[in-house]
Amino acid sequence: MSPMTFLAPRAKSVLALVSAGFLSATLLQATTAPPASAAPCFWLRYADEAPKRASARADLATVCLIQQERAKHGLPPIPHTVSLRGMPPQSLPLAAQRHVEAAITLKWWGPGKDPHTNPQTDSTINSRIKDAGYCRGRTPSTGEITYTGWGGQGTPRAAVKWWMSSPTHRDIILGKDANWNNYGIATWPDVADNAGIGQSGAGTYVMDFGYCPR
């Protein structure tokens, strides 16, 4: 039997969804927003490769694919706002990073599990984003999508393909209930589900979306 991919179960609302990340990729985003709205996007050449350590390629390829999906639906790319009043520039990437690292360490994702709530710390999408300093003093809209896969299904393309096949996740990507003005993406070359331990081509993805009213 070929390795199977566990994909995060749907959350009940957009306000209860978000992602996690990889430090080197997070830092890179501070100065490099991938030109995903352009065709072709340079980073798409890495869309069929699983994440690699100390590399932001999977992060950037994932964002390119997300922006392409939005373009297909006549939507503008989500901006990567590096500075908003009263908000650290890396707050969403930091929230995503913390969550993906916890997921890899604890490996609690799996059938019947909630990948958005840390079973050890009880952190949630909203609490992680708040702790990272996002949108202080205001009430943001937030969203999160997560994915883990292996055996050829740990790539950015596999993650985005699954998200877009899920109505709940697709609505988050397309901003059905929020006009996103920021995002954070984090990837890791490992699995968040014990079922995938030791398998090749592994990847875990967390992407956080935010709308912070000015």
- Per-residue pLDDT tens over the stretch 122-154: 999 999 999 999 999 999 999 999 999 999 999
Residue 84 has φ and ψ, to the nearest 5°, of -125, 150
Which residues are CB-neighbours of 3 under 8 A, at least 6 positions away?
A: 150, 151, 152, 153, 196, 199
* Among 173, 154, 155, residue whose Cα is nearest residue 163: 173
Sign, CA dihedral 212-132-59-31, equals positive
- Per-residue pLDDT tens over the stretch 46-79: 999 999 999 999 999 999 999 999 999 999 999 8
* pTM exceeds cut of 0.85: no
